[in-house]
Amino acid sequence: MIIEAGFEITYQCPAPTPMLLALKIHPSRQADLLTAQTLAFSQQVQPRDYTDQFGNLCTRIVAPAGPTTITTAFTITDTGLPDAKTPNAQQHAVQDLPDEILVFLLGSRYCDTDRLAEFAWSQFANAPMGWGRVQAICDFVHQHIAFDYMKADATRTAHGAFTDHQGVCRDFAHLAITLCRCMNIPARYCTGYLGEIGVPVDPAPMDFSAWFDVYLGGRWHIFDARHNAPRIGRILMAHGRDATDVAL
C-alpha cells in the first residue's frame, strides 16, 4: 500500500522563539519512504536536525516574530495490514526487564502513576497477565473517556482524564500508559499519522494521532485505547515517556 501524508502548521510567535520540532517520521520508517520527507518553512530559518535520547529525529529552529508556516508532503509504503495482535505475549517480571526499558515503568509529567496505582491494582489485578491485562486496560479507558476535541487541555494528566471522563487521543494514551505502568507493564507514548483507512471517514479535519506501545515478550506492541481496534496505516513520528517528550 502507498500512503500520501503531510501537514500544514502555522505558529504565531510574538518574538524570535527557539523551537524544538518533532515533525519528521521516526527513523524506523525512513526506509519505507518513496519520496523525501523535508520540512518547508515560510520564513527564513536555519533548521538543524538531531536525534533525541529516545531515538526520535527532531529539528531545531529559531522562529522569527510573526507567523511561520511549516509544511511537508511525502509518500510512504505500508504493509496495508492492521495492527498485529499477539494474545500470547507474556509480561516480564520487573527484575528480568532490560535496563533501557525500566524508564517506561516510572511516573512522568502526564503519567502520574502515584495517583492511580491503588485503583489500577483494585481494577486489574485479576485480569490475565500480559496481553490480556493490557487489553483489559484499553477496554476500560475506551469506555471511561468520552472523546471531545473541544475539551482538549494541555495540562491534563492521566489522573485528570480519569476524573474528567473526557479528553482527546493523548488523554486516552496517557491514562492507558499510566495504568499499565502501575501494573508493572512498560508502556511508552507514540505520536504520528493515522489516516482513515478501512474505517468510515470522519468529516472533521484530520489531525495527528496518539497511541501507545507496551513491552511484552521481548518487544514492543501497538495498542490504541481511543479506537480500541486494530488500525491500518500508522506512520510513527516519535515516541517517549509521554507527550512532554514528543510534543509536536
DSSP 81-113: PBPP--TTPPPPPGGGS-GGGGGGGS--SS--H
Q: Give CA–CA dist 241/219, Å, rounded.
A: 16
Residues 177 and 189: beta-carbon distance below 8 Å: yes
Question: So where are the chain's domains?
Answer: 2-77, 94-240
Nearest partner of 135 among 237, 238, 219, 212, judged by Cα:
212
pLDDT for 220 equals 98
Residue 11 to residue 9: CA distance in whole angstroms: 7
The pLDDT, as a whole number, for residue 204 is 78
Q: Which three cell numbers stand for residue 60?
A: 531545531
pLDDT in tens, the chain (248 residues): 999 999 999 999 999 999 999 999 999 999 999 999 999 999 999 999 999 999 999 999 999 999 999 999 999 999 999 999 999 999 999 999 999 999 999 999 999 999 999 999 999 999 999 999 999 999 999 999 999 988 899 999 999 999 999 999 999 999 999 999 999 999 999 999 999 999 998 887 788 999 999 999 999 999 999 999 999 999 999 999 999 999 87
Nearest to 170 by CA among 86, 109, 231: 109
C-alpha cell at 127: 485480569
For residues 12 and 75, the answer to whether their CB atoms sit within 8 Å is no
- How much is the CA Rg of the chain, to the nearest whole Å? 18
Q: How does DSSP assign 2-18, residue by residue?
A: EEEEEEEEEEEESS-EE
| Cβ neighbours of 38 (radius 10 Å) | 11
Q: What is the CATH number of domain 94-240?
A: 3.10.620.30
pTM flag (> 0.75):
yes
Could you give the strand order of the β-sheet that contains 2-13, starting from the edge strand earlier in sequence?
2-13, 66-77, 40-41
Helix, strand and coil in the chain, % to nearest 5: 25, 30, 40
Q: Which three cell numbers stand for residue 222?
A: 501497538
